Chain A
Amino acid sequence: MKLRTSHYITLAFLVVFTYFYRKDGLVATSVLYTAIQFALPLALAAMVGVMCERTGVVNIGIEGTMLFSAFTAFFAGAIMKDTVQGMFVGVFTGAMMGLLLALMAVSWKMNQIIAGVIINILAAGITSFYYRQNYSIPATLHPIDLPVVGAWPILGPVLSFHGPITYFGILFILALWFALYKTSWGLRSRAVGEQPASADTAGVSVTRLRYMNVTIAGAVGGLAGSYLALEAVGIFERGFTAGKGFTALAIMIFGRWNPLGALAAALFFGLTQAVTNQLMIDEVVEIPPQFITMLPYILTILVLAISAGKVRPPAAEGIAYEKEKS
């Protein structure tokens, strides 16, 4: 991601902040706080895409992965009466969905779009069929009051008091960025996503790396799903993820398949939503709620239209690696 884009996004945050701050300092910080909350699942979900596509596997099953993980996380949490255990179940579910995708895309060399669709349909079907009402988790995951940062003026209330998945997620994104560009795992992963034959001839196992990355990515998707069910709202409903897994793909593209770029793009999406919400609460604008729900999708289309042609995806994405076809 070019520095310029992240400048724009910082600028957007500043403008929003100043706008609300002139009226009410508390509202201003709460809008930014909410922006982070909206952004986090998108950012994590985008990491799923980044990890998969950087190794050459297209994953359009992020939506299904999140939905299914949110489902298992919530009901496991409710049945075991333990939210934290529920989260682990969610993460594990995600990893299994990743493994399933790897099986279809890498071993069976299925068309990867179709493999992703299968995951989405599977998740939508199972989660609505087995959905039961009247379940509830004991509590959402505990927010953490950051020691020093929490006391800062203005930034404190924006950055502090998020849940554990939020902090872990942000650390994970930073770590993923580092790993992708500074470690041998990252070098190999990117090589596999660009030119698997070259990686193979250098002694890197394309199959193993793709399996590993797609499965870990699935776990990250599971974390994103758990976040929605256990940290953000504490409930589960049918079609709960509402297209976030698809929006994440747009965010990934907007962020040029770079974890930090995608994080910035997710924050921008989150901010837009938080602002619209606040404007509705303030009744500054009267927009029918349907339009508000449409917002992420419209934004997605806009973003894709803007970045189309300017970004270059990993060259080997979507293509199963066949050894004897060099």
Chain B
Amino acid sequence: MNTLLEIEGVSKRFGAVIANENISLTVKGGEILALLGENGAGKSTLVKAVFGLVRPDSGTIKIDGIVMESSDTAAAIARGVGMVHQHFQLVPVMSVTENLILGDEPKRFGVLNIKRARAEVLSLSEKYGLEVDPDAIIEDLPVGMAQRVEILKALRRDVKLLILDEPTAVLTPQETDELLEVLRNLAKRGVGILFITHKLREVMAVADRIAVLRDGKLMGTTTPKESSESKLAQMMVGREVVLRVEKGPGKPKEVLLAVRNLKVIDDRKLEAVRDLSLEVHAGEILGIAGVEGNGQRELVEAICSMRPRSSGEVMVKGQVIPNLSPRAAHLAGVSHIPEDREKHGLVTSYSIADNLVLNRFDQAPFANGWIRNLEKVANNGEALVEKFDIRAPNASLSADSLSGGNKQKVVVARELSQQLDVVVASQPTRGIDVGSIEFIHNQLISARDAGAAVLLVSAELDEILSLADRIAVISNGKIVATFGSKEADRNTIGRLMAGLAS
């Protein structure tokens, strides 16, 4: 097959950070190249350079043998490059249809043909098995749904080279399988695919070749046949990674978090959590397993008082948490790792250090009365950046400049570095590299061992199975079954999650 994409000696610096250093790579038509690397290794930077979003300092990028003008997205699109962005490039206030057609609208004399656009969206969504509501407004959508829109947007245009930057981070396992199937079919038709993911299973399943980046440098390329998950992990991180969680048995004590007869309405004004009750004890991890969109998000937001509870109550250490006061929940001892770190976890224009004290900037030692103690804030920032291995030259940079996974680590660092009573962790390892997953898992376990009650919500059944001491299955806004970690069985839980009676 012909060489579709040639990256030759591309380098890119951001201030003191070398994001890409002399990288050369090729992708042939019909080939799936998986790009692996730790958070901050430079994967997104490299593919953004291909798409004309980042201007490399040196090196050339050729598509079909033609050198691409750097920093020209429209030209890249015209040459048949499509990209699924790690940070969704969707306009929040617009509908799914409007977002999908933006830039290449069905029209006559400039007037949009919305009917045709809508029909096109429906057939597109059917063709690729990615279900979307063409009229939904993006900002009302859960991330998984937004991800599907982002993928469809790239598939809509006839692409020759498809770049996918962590497309599966927020997809359900079934959706992931379907997407991988779509990718295989596209490759059969001669499309070249550049695929970024942190999930080694996917790489082994779908890649023809694998390229590994570390600290901006290309460590080498390999194939699934020649390597294994643990070899890949080692190549990425540069040390051995324990892919399985090691933990002792939990020692549950008194109830720290109690949810009683909770009812919550979602954004579409439907009842998303229906009369749900649960208890989490000190020293245990309760995992909530469930297919995304079954009320997990609303449950978490109601516990953290970010969303009104229409009835029922949430108690922390026996104390009732008032409705709609995230601060009261925080002061009562609830740490929250939100699902959407960009929206609820960070102020991206603030510095990393400020983001690390976002929920306690006004408390000692970070403030004396009205005056902030900036030195303490800075020291705390540096210490946490070090401890949580956040890849940034220093903590005074704005959170904007962090890679996707490192943003997530900032949130985790902030929430797990305070006095821990109740930890509500929603998809805590989404978009995080294998090395850091290991680290975050260990942090959650040590929080548990130190006597915190941990509520873990994850779309990854494996994550739940390996971390939780008890597992509650949520379906349609209700807890349909609870298991101890010993009795838990993959198949039974899978059936319950799908809403089938066991």
Pair A200/B73 contact, Cβ less than 8 Å: yes
Asked whether A205 and B74 contact (CB < 8 A) given A194-B93, A200-B53, the answer is yes
Cα A323 to Cα B83 with chains together (Å) = 16
In this complex, what residue of B is CB-closest to A312? B93
Residues of B within 8 A of A312 (CB): 93
Residues of B within 8 A of A195 (CB): 89-92
In this complex, what residue of B is CB-closest to A201? B89
Residues of B within 8 A of A203 (CB): 73-74, 77-78, 103-104
In this complex, what residue of A is CB-closest to B109? A183
Cα A190 to Cα B99 with chains together (Å) = 11
Contact of A201 among B71, B83, B92, B105 (CB under 8 A): B83
Residues of A within 8 A of B91 (CB): 190-191, 194-195, 198-199
**A280 is an interface residue with CB less than 8 A from chain B:** no
Cα A202 to Cα B101 with chains together (Å) = 9
Residue-wise, chain A 194-225 has the 8 Å CB interface mask toward B (1 for contact) of 11011111111100000000000000000000
Cα A65 to Cα B92 with chains together (Å) = 33
**A185 is an interface residue with CB less than 8 A from chain B:** yes
In this complex, what residue of B is CB-closest to A204? B103
Q: Give chain B interface residues in 361-409, CB to chain A under 8 Å.
A: 400
**B51 is an interface residue with CB less than 8 A from chain A:** yes
Closest Cβ of chain B to A9, distance in Å, is 25
Cα A202 to Cα B153 with chains together (Å) = 9
**B66 is an interface residue with CB less than 8 A from chain A:** no
Residues of B within 8 A of A197 (CB): 89
Cα A312 to Cα B92 with chains together (Å) = 13
Pair A202/B102 contact, Cβ less than 8 Å: yes
Cα A276 to Cα B255 with chains together (Å) = 69
**A2 is an interface residue with CB less than 8 A from chain B:** no
Cα A323 to Cα B48 with chains together (Å) = 11
In this complex, what residue of B is CB-closest to A181? B112
Residues of B within 8 A of A304 (CB): none
Residues of B within 8 A of A191 (CB): 91, 94, 98, 102
Cα A321 to Cα B324 with chains together (Å) = 35
Pair A183/B107 contact, Cβ less than 8 Å: yes
Closest Cβ of chain B to A186, distance in Å, is 8
Cα A323 to Cα B136 with chains together (Å) = 28
Q: Give chain B interface residues in 48-106, CB to chain A under 8 Å.
A: 48, 51, 53-55, 71, 73-74, 77-78, 83, 85, 87, 89-94, 98-99, 101-105
Closest Cβ of chain B to A59, distance in Å, is 21
Q: Is the interface of B mostly helix, strand, loop or mixed?
A: loop
Residues of A within 8 A of B102 (CB): 187-188, 191, 198-199, 202, 204
In this complex, what residue of B is CB-closest to A179? B110
Closest Cβ of chain A to B49, distance in Å, is 10
**B1 is an interface residue with CB less than 8 A from chain A:** no
**B501 is an interface residue with CB less than 8 A from chain A:** no
**A286 is an interface residue with CB less than 8 A from chain B:** no
Q: Give chain A interface residues in 149-195, CB to chain B under 8 Å.
A: 182-185, 187-188, 190-191, 194-195
Residues of B within 8 A of A326 (CB): 48, 53, 87
Residue-wise, chain B 111-154 has the 8 Å CB interface mask toward A (1 for contact) of 11000000000000000000000000000000000000000010
Pair A184/B92 contact, Cβ less than 8 Å: no
Pair A185/B110 contact, Cβ less than 8 Å: yes
Cα A315 to Cα B90 with chains together (Å) = 13
**A310 is an interface residue with CB less than 8 A from chain B:** no
**A325 is an interface residue with CB less than 8 A from chain B:** yes
Pair B53/A323 contact, Cβ less than 8 Å: yes
**A282 is an interface residue with CB less than 8 A from chain B:** no
In this complex, what residue of A is CB-closest to B14? A324
Closest Cβ of chain B to A185, distance in Å, is 6
Closest Cβ of chain B to A100, distance in Å, is 26
Cα A324 to Cα B15 with chains together (Å) = 13
Residues of A within 8 A of B94 (CB): 187, 190-191, 194
Cα A203 to Cα B154 with chains together (Å) = 12
Pair B103/A202 contact, Cβ less than 8 Å: yes
Closest Cβ of chain A to B16, distance in Å, is 16
Q: Give chain A interface residues in 85-128, CB to chain B under 8 Å.
A: none
Contact of B53 among A194, A201, A205 (CB under 8 A): A201
Cα A202 to Cα B90 with chains together (Å) = 10
Closest Cβ of chain A to B107, distance in Å, is 5
Residues of B within 8 A of A182 (CB): 111-112
Closest Cβ of chain A to B115, distance in Å, is 12
Most B CB contacts (10 A, CB to CB) among A182, A188, A203 go to A203
Cα A242 to Cα B83 with chains together (Å) = 51
Most A CB contacts (10 A, CB to CB) among B48, B51, B89 go to B89
Cα A205 to Cα B77 with chains together (Å) = 12
Residues of B within 8 A of A199 (CB): 91, 102-103
Asked whether A324 and B54 contact (CB < 8 A) given A198-B91, A203-B73, A205-B74, the answer is yes
Cα A154 to Cα B94 with chains together (Å) = 42
Residues of A within 8 A of B400 (CB): 325
Cα A203 to Cα B83 with chains together (Å) = 11
Residues of A within 8 A of B104 (CB): 202-203
Cα A185 to Cα B109 with chains together (Å) = 11
Pair A187/B105 contact, Cβ less than 8 Å: yes
Residue-wise, chain A 307-326 has the 8 Å CB interface mask toward B (1 for contact) of 00000100100000001111
Closest Cβ of chain B to A99, distance in Å, is 23
Asked whether A315 and B92 contact (CB < 8 A) given A199-B102, A201-B83, A205-B74, the answer is yes
Cα A198 to Cα B150 with chains together (Å) = 11
Pair A323/B71 contact, Cβ less than 8 Å: yes
Cα A67 to Cα B205 with chains together (Å) = 67
In this complex, what residue of A is CB-closest to B77? A203
Pair B71/A198 contact, Cβ less than 8 Å: no
Pair B89/A202 contact, Cβ less than 8 Å: yes
Residues of B within 8 A of A315 (CB): 92-93
Cα A108 to Cα B73 with chains together (Å) = 21
The 9 sampled A-B contact pairs (Cβ below 8 Å) are A182-B111, A190-B91, A195-B89, A198-B99, A198-B102, A201-B51, A203-B103, A204-B102, A204-B103
Q: A198-B102, A199-B91, A324-B55 are in contact. List 9 more A-B contacts (CB 8 A).
A: A188-B103, A191-B94, A194-B92, A201-B51, A201-B85, A204-B74, A315-B92, A325-B400, A326-B48
Instruction: Give the interface of B toward A (CB within 8 A).
Output: 14, 48, 51, 53-55, 71, 73-74, 77-78, 83, 85, 87, 89-94, 98-99, 101-105, 107, 110-112, 153, 400
Instruction: Give the interface of A toward B (CB within 8 A).
Output: 182-185, 187-188, 190-191, 194-195, 197-205, 312, 315, 323-326
Closest A-B pairs by Cβ, 7 of them: A202-B103, A198-B89, A184-B105, A201-B89, A203-B77, A203-B103, A203-B74
